[in-house]
Amino acid sequence: MDDLSASTRHELKVPDQVKGVVVTNVDPNSPAFEAGLREGDVIQEINRKQVTGADQAVELSEKAKNDKVLLRVWSKGGSHYLVVDESKAG
């Protein structure tokens, strides 16, 4: 994950009102990939808490109280929710 810079925002055509962190890499064997998270997606919320930077995103995901993490993600022009089930990690 990385902070959403002006150049990345322009490259991915992310609207100004979308805040969050950009996904820079997703392991194809990970629960996040299985849930639908892809490189270039913008994570806006983790467990209903707004994400403002990459450090905060890591902290929020580490504080998850159970194996399932709810993500609000902007991708290809729209926002949607994904549930990442960490209990499926192999």
Convert the pLDDT of each residue in 5-61 to its tens digit. 999 999 999 999 999 999 999 999 999 999 999 999 999 999 999 998 999 988 888
The residues, any chain, with a CB within 8 Å of residue 34's CB and separated by 6 or more, are 85, 88
Global pTM?
0.90
Q: What confidence score (pLDDT) does residue 72 get? A: 97
Q: Which domains does the chain have, with CATH numbers?
A: 2-88 (2.30.42.10)
pLDDT level of residue 76 (50, 70, 90 thresholds): confident
Residue 77 vs residue 24, higher pLDDT: 24
Which residue from 5, 21, 18 is spatially nearest to 54, judged by alpha carbons?
21
